[in-house]
Every structure is written in structure tokens, then in C-alpha cells.
């Protein structure tokens, strides 16, 4: 007879939500079920299902109270959200952002990395945008955070040549001049010459846009009132793919 804890992990690997529900109904003490095998990193059921992108099982575990109180952490102090962000599982990331304490998004592991850094390193642009949307506080503040070596999300994106992520991070307010503890900027960490040139061009482009916005704001403020009622509008940032940038 296979141990219930092992059967449960096998059911998660198979993406069998009904079987997971039946096992947990009989063994509610296995809700977290950390994997203490040599390669398990003490990953809980939610860590495993999130890393595999199995949304229905993630939903079941959260409904059963898996994350009540504080989020489960593995041996590396990683959350399930971090593992989903690493693998680019968009639906799982979005679900966990909706149903977790927002501070979980900025929680850092034993190396000082958070979910935004992990997604930036792996080049998952849509995941980065979701995380930035749900992150608490100012977006620029979230992007100013560094790991133990002072590397920001922009450093990680640059180091792997993730061009779309670079554009997203800079548009969201990432500081391209920020240096890590080794005095290296994100540009200096560029994986390729193409990434370095692209990043330098983006920095110039973003700076020019900010200057134009500042000038427009100043002009609007100093213009005399004409008595005509103007319409209020809202600006929505849309990150578009460049024609010369892949997926």
C-alpha cells in the first residue's frame, strides 16, 4: 500500500483534482504535506501544484485553507507564487495574486529574491505585468528592491537578455542607473550586445517621454482658463511588442 502522502503528490503530478480532494478528505492532516525527500526542498502541495501550473488543484488547496495565516514556505523560503512565476504559469500567478495577501508578492526568499525578480529572470513578461499590477504600494518602490547582492528585477532581465521584460520594467519606473553591491548596473549585466543596445535605447526613450510629460504638465498648469469645460481622461500604459523583439 502506497503511503497517502506519496499518493497525494502523485495525484498532483497527474493533475487529478478529484483524487486530490478525496485523499485530503480522508487525510486532512496532509493539506500541506511537505516533501522531505532529498530533492523535495520541503515543497508543500501548493508549491508542487503551482510549479506545475495546475490551477484547479491550486484553487482546491487555497479553498481548503492551505495559505490561511501566512503563506507556506519551502526550505529556500520560497512561496508557491515564486515557483509559479519562475515557470511562467500565468493563470496560477493571477489566481494566487487575487487570493493571497498582497505582501506575498514582495516576499523575499533566502537569497533575497521575490516573485517579480524570478519572473524577470525567466523572461515571463505577462507574469511580470500581473505581479506589478497586484503588488502593494508604488510600482517603482517594488522595482527598487534588490536581492542579497543588490540585483534588481532589471538586473535579472538584462542578464538573460529578456527584451520584453526590460521594456515593461522601465515603463513601470525601474531605475536603470541602480547598481548592485559590485557596482554593476543592469546595462553592464546585459547578456548580449543586442540586449545592451536595446536597453540603452529604452532608457533614452523613457527619459524623453518623461521630459515630454513634464513639459506638457507645466504648460497645462500655466495656461489661462478659457471658461470651456474640458473632459477628464485617464492614461493606461499598454506594453506593446516591438516588431524586432521575439515572444
Model confidence, pTM = 0.83
Tell me the C-alpha distance between 115 and 135, whole Å: 10
Which residues, other chains included, contact 122 with Cβ-Cβ below 8 Å and sequence gap of 6+?
A: 85, 86, 87, 88, 160, 162
Residue 193's CB is within 10 A of a number of other CB atoms, namely 9
| Domains of the chain, CATH where assigned | 1-100 (1.25.40.20), 133-217 (1.25.40.20)
Per-residue pLDDT of the chain (247 residues; tens, 9 = 90+): 799 999 999 999 999 999 999 999 999 999 999 999 999 999 999 999 999 999 999 999 999 999 999 999 999 999 999 999 999 999 999 999 999 999 999 999 999 999 999 999 999 999 999 999 999 999 999 999 999 999 999 999 999 999 999 999 999 999 988 999 999 999 888 877 877 888 888 888 876 776 666 666 666 655 555 444 343 333 334 444 444 444 3
Tell me the C-alpha distance between 92 and 30, whole Å: 21
Tell me the C-alpha distance between 57 and 19, whole Å: 10
Amino acid at each position: 500500500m502506497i503511503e497517502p502522502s506519496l499518493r497525494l503528490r502523485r495525484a498532483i503530478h497527474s493533475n487529478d483534482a478529484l483524487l486530490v480532494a478525496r485523499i485530503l478528505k480522508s487525510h486532512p492532516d496532509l493539506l500541506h504535506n511537505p516533501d522531505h525527500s532529498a530533492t523535495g526542498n520541503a515543497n508543500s502541495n501548493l508549491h508542487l501544484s503551482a510549479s506545475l501550473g495546475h490551477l484547479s488543484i491550486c484553487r482546491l488547496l487555497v479553498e481548503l485553507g492551505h495559505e490561511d495565516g501566512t503563506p507556506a514556505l519551502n526550505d529556500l523560503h520560497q512561496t508557491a507564487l515564486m515557483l509559479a512565476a519562475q515557470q511562467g504559469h500565468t493563470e496560477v500567478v493571477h489566481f494566487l495574486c487575487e487570493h493571497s495577501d498582497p505582501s506575498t508578492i514582495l516576499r523575499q526568499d533566502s537569497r533575497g529574491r521575490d516573485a517579480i525578480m524570478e519572473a524577470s529572470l525567466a523572461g515571463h513578461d505577462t507574469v511580470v505585468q500581473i505581479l506589478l499590477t497586484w503588488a502593494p504600494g508604488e510600482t517603482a518602490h517594488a522595482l527598487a528592491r534588490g536581492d542579497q547582492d543588490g540585483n534588481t528585477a532589471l538586473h535579472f532581465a538584462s542578464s538573460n537578455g529578456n527584451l520584453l521584460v526590460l521594456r515593461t520594467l522601465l515603463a513601470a519606473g525601474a531605475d536603470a542607473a541602480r547598481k548592485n553591491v559590485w557596482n554593476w548596473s543592469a546595462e553592464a549585466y546585459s547578456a548580449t550586445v543586442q540586449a545592451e543596445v536595446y536597453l540603452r535605447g529604452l532608457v533614452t526613450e523613457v527619459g524623453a517621454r518623461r521630459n515630454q510629460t513634464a513639459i506638457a504638465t507645466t504648460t497645462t498648469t500655466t495656461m489661462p482658463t478659457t471658461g470651456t469645460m474640458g473632459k477628464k481622461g485617464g492614461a493606461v500604459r499598454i506594453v506593446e511588442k516591438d516588431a524586432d523583439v521575439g515572444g
